[in-house]
Structure 1
Amino acid sequence: MPLTGQYKYVGPAELRGRLVAVDAVVVAASAALDGWLAGRDRGELVEPFTFVIALDGSLRLAPRRGEHVALAEGRDVLAAGEMAFARAETGWCVVEVTNQSTGYCPDPDCWPAVATALDRAGVQHPGGFTEEITFRRCPTCGERNIVRDGDFTCALCGGALPPHWNFTTN
């Protein structure tokens, strides 16, 4: 399955300028995920984790308080969002996964990059995003928007949002 395009960081410039090291892991195998999740406290395990798929196809995870751009070290990504885990017979499995990242605003068609990274690491997953987020940039005011209930109206200026994903990719 081919990987999708690259997503540039489109969030606030001040976040990109503060690339603080995060408590992160690169998941190359399920054993790395098992060890990292075993070190999480109970409070972290009940909420989703921040993830990016780096340009080399690797899955990077951090606690939810981490910014996607910091996790990606300021670089472009193949996908970004949030991921939740549960114990399975053979370790941990993904039970929820979204493309929720207002820093990268990835289109739902980035799923193949996520699936490839999880498959390569041997981590079970639901086979698609459990919630797909539709992002659009307002051509009138430039604001990043999440489209809710099919309403393609800018939340800031009331302008019409385009029907197709319109953030810059490489």
Structure 2
Amino acid sequence: MTRLNRYRYVGPAEILARQVDPVGMVIADTRGALDTWFDDQRATGLAEPATFVVDLHGTLRVAPRQSEHVACAAGQDVLAAGEISFAASNIGYSVQAVSNQSTGYCPDPDCWPAVAEALDRLGMPHPGGFTAALTFRRCTACGERNIVRDGDFACALCDGVLPPHWNFGPA
């Protein structure tokens, strides 16, 4: 088994303070929970990616895209976080796209094995890796959270040099 990192919430404290009720739906099987998810999406007219986390038990939780990842995770640490799109067919569900895009947890792309294990346990076909992988770094000069773009390890706020390795505290 792959050693999985644990990610704590690193986003704004005021967002964490607002998270009272968990909004993440546990996906324990590909029948009932995802059927309910798709029914809810159709009812609200939303056909967009979902917010997701893989909790510390390796369980996939999803919430509407407008939800904060920390709310999806019920305020807890996670093994992975990002956005996910499902496709439905007459034989079940599959993952169409998946990323580690979460500025609340800023997970490194190396969290993919946690996502894959959760999806594999559900028997859900997936792309085998993030379809969009983001690299997050905290600026050691000003403390700003950054997304590294095009290999440019420079802070978007102060132009400081970003470290080559994930640096948001103990993983």
TM-score exceeds 0.5: yes
The answer for the alignment partner of 1:30 in structure 2 is 30
The answer for the alignment partner of 1:153 in structure 2 is 154
3-state secondary structure, aligned to 2:41 = coil
The answer for the alignment partner of 2:62 in structure 1 is 61
Q: Partners of 2:3 and 2:34 in 1: how far apart?
A: 22
TM-score by length of 1: 0.94
The answer for the alignment partner of 1:43 in structure 2 is 45
Q: Partners of 1:74 and 1:150 in 2: how far apart?
A: 31
The answer for the alignment partner of 1:6 in structure 2 is 6
The answer for the alignment partner of 2:117 in structure 1 is 116
Alpha-carbon offset, residue 24 of structure 1: 3.3
- Residue 109 of structure 1 aligns with an amino acid whose one-letter code is D
TM-score by length of 2: 0.93
* Structure 1 vs Structure 2 CA RMSD: 1.4
Runs of 4+ in structure 1 deviating by more than 6 angstroms, as ranges, are none
Alpha-carbon offset, residue 48 of structure 1: 0.7
**Residues 154 and 161 in structure 2, CA contact (< 8 A), matched pair in contact too:** yes
3-state secondary structure, aligned to 2:46 = helix
What is the percent sequence identity of the aligned residues? 62
Unaligned runs of 5+ in 1: none
The answer for the alignment partner of 2:16 in structure 1 is 16
**Residues 25 and 72 in structure 2, CA contact (< 8 A), matched pair in contact too:** no
Q: Partners of 1:133 and 1:127 in 2: how far apart?
A: 16
